[in-house]
A and B are shown apart, each in its own frame.
Chain A
C-alpha cells in the first residue's frame, strides 16, 4: 500500500540517549516534513526538505537534525534526548511545494517518551 511509513510506532527513551525516527515514502514526493504534536498546540514544523539533498529548519529545530540522501527517506535524529522532546512525531510528504493544493500526506506517527 502506497504511503508513508514511520518507525518506531512508540518508544520510551532515557534522557541523554540518541534516537533516530525513520520515515520512508513510496509516492515519489519531492517535499518531506517532520512535525511534532503536543496537547493544546498546533502541529509544529521541526525540519523540512523540498527535494533530495536539501533540508531546512522549521519552527522548532533545536535538538533535532535531519538528512535527505534520497527521495524516499527522511530520518529525524535526536542527538541527546531531553524530557521536553516527549511528543508525537509525524512525518509528512507532498508532491508540490509552494503551488496548487500542496496536500500533505502523513505517516501514522511515532510516540516518543523521554524519561
Chain B
C-alpha cells in the first residue's frame, strides 16, 4: 500500500529552527508537496519538489531525496504565526495525491 509518514506533533521555540520530516512509500513518484494549514482554515501551498535537493523560499526550505523516499521542511526564524499543521503529499504514478496526516507544529515564546 501507499504510505506517508510524518510526526504527529512537534514543539519549537520562537526564533529557532525546526525540521519536519516526511517519509513516503508510493507507487511511483511525480513530485512532493508541502502545505500549511492553520487551525480551522484551508491548506495553502508552500512548496513543490520533484528533483533531489534543497528548494529555498524565504524562511522556508524543502528538501527531497527520491532514493531514500524522504523529504523535510525546514522553517527558520520561527514566528508565532508559524503555529499550524504541515501536510506532506506525494503525487503518485497515476498523478493522484497521497496525503500524510500532517504535523502539528506548536511554537512557544
Contact = CB atoms under 8 A, between A and B. Distances in A.
Contacts, number: 46
Interface string A93-115: 00001100111111111000000
A22 interface: no
A105 B42 CA distance: 9
B101 A41 contact: yes
The CB with the most chain B CB atoms within 10 A, among A42, A97, A107, is that of A42
B42 A98 contact: no
B39 to A, nearest CB: 11
Interface residues of A, number: 19
Interface string A43-62: 11100000000000010000
A102 B97 CA distance: 10
Size bin of chain B's contact surface: 20 to 34
Contact of B44 (A40, A97, A106): A106
Interface string A1-18: 000000000000000000
B96 interface: yes
Given A41-B101, A43-B87, A101-B48, A108 B95 contact: no
B97 A45 contact: yes
B43 A90 contact: yes
Interface in B24-48: 30-31, 33, 35, 41-45, 48
Nearest to A106: B42
Contacts of A105: 45
10 contacts: A41-B101, A90-B42, A98-B30, A101-B31, A102-B31, A104-B35, A104-B43, A104-B45, A105-B45, A108-B41
